[in-house]
């Protein structure tokens, strides 16, 4: 299978980049399945139901969330009726929605997508992500019930992301980090056959501070004092993410390529 994962969609610029480019990429790259992290698609903080529909209509098969999962309050109801949107497995036990789902592609292949939140440097204490993913692997073994498995690990520390990659090695097709909005350069296939990238980066304007207009973040760094709200940058966005190909028999990765399309970053893709 050919699978594309796109990192955190950041505000209007990120949404526009998805709607303008994803339909073309699906056709050009003959993609079987697309996962988009929509964590920051609405004003840079969370995802509304209306903007979730925008991402899904543009060609996303699954939209993942993150620590800002329910910053937009209508997502509390929307996620109950839209199973293609998933929140982290180890979010509050009282939260609506699910942290994993088995999808069926148009050609009948089964793709499991799950998401977990890290613990290191995160503002809120979340449950252990390693034990959170374990039961999902047991009920949906790679190459058995699932032809491919994608793990979105949403956290700050690259060390924790790399640890999750090794923890899942041989049991997932792809483990990819999200949340920090800056793409890392460590795309690789681990010894057990799992593709890994510590952070997919963001789909947003990189002439910014992690997707936000520069002036207010700079003011706070320099003076230590806030003045205005953070607002997403609105220039041309770069689609950032990762592309993998999997073996039809085992579900393990046979190819991994970093993806950067449009905007300011050096371009790359399959």
Give residue 226's pLDDT.
86
Distance from C-alpha of 57 to C-alpha of 265, rounded to nearest angstrom: 26
Q: What is the pLDDT of residue 14?
A: 96
Catalytic residue among 68, 154, 181, 196: 68
What is the Cα–Cα distance from 191 to 38, expressed in whole angstroms?
30
Residue 18 φ then ψ, to 5°: -65, -50
Q: What's this model's pTM, rounded to 2 decimal places? A: 0.96
For the residues 148-153, what does the mean pLDDT come to? 98
Catalytic residue flag (residue 68): yes
Cβ-in-10-Å burial (0-12, 13-18, 19+) of 214 comes to exposed
- Mean predicted confidence (pLDDT) in 215-227: 92
Asked if residue 102 lies in contact with residue 72, where contact means CB atoms within 8 angstroms, the answer is no
Predicted pLDDT at 110: 97
Strand order of the β-sheet with 195-197 is 100-104, 110-117, 148-154, 174-178, 195-197, 188-189
Cα gap 11→86, rounded to integer Å: 19
pLDDT for res 127: 86
Joined tokens for residue 33: 């399945």
User: pLDDT tens for residues 84-139?
Assistant: 999 999 988 889 999 999 999 999 999 999 999 998 888 777 889 999 999 999 99
Burial class (CB in 10 A: 0-12, 13-18, 19+), 37: buried
Return d(Cα 196, Cα 220) in angstroms, integer.
34
Q: What is the pLDDT of residue 210?
A: 92
Work out the average pLDDT over 227-253: 95
CA distances, 111 to each of 34, 101, 146 (Å): 10, 8, 6
Confidence of residue 267 (pLDDT cuts 50, 70, 90): very high
Average pLDDT across the chain, whole number: 95
């Amino acid at each position: 299978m050919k699978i594309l994962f796109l990192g955190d969609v950041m505000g209007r610029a990120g949404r526009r980049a998805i709607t303008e480019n994803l339909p073309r990429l699906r056709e050009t790259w003959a993609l079987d399945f697309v996962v988009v992290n929509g964590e920051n698609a609405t004003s840079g903080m969370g995802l509304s139901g209306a903007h979730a529909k925008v991402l899904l209509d543009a060609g996303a098969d699954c939209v993942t969330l993150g620590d800002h999962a329910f910053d937009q309050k209508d997502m509390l109801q929307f996620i109950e009726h839209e199973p293609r949107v998933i929140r982290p497995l180890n979010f509050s036990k009282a939260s609506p929605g699910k942290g994993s789902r088995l999808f069926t592609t148009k050609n009948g292949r089964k793709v499991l997508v799950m998401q977990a939140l890290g613990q290191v440097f995160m503002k809120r204490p979340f449950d252990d992500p390693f034990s959170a993913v374990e039961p999902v692997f047991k009920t949906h073994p790679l190459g058995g019930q699932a032809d491919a498995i994608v793990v979105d690990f949403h956290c700050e520390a690259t060390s924790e992301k790399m640890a999750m990659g090794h923890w899942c090695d041989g049991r997932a097709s792809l483990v990819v980090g999200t949340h920090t909005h800056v793409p890392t350069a460590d795309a690789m296939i681990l010894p057990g056959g799992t593709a890994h990238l510590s952070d997919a980066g963001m789909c947003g304007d990189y002439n910014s501070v992690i997707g936000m207009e520069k002036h207010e973040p700079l003011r706070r760094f320099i003076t230590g004092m806030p003045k205005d709200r953070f607002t997403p940058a609105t220039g041309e966005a770069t689609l950032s993410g990762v592309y993998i190909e999997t073996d039809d028999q085992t579900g393990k990765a046979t190819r991994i390529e970093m993806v950067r399309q449009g905007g300011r970053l050096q371009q790359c893709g399959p």
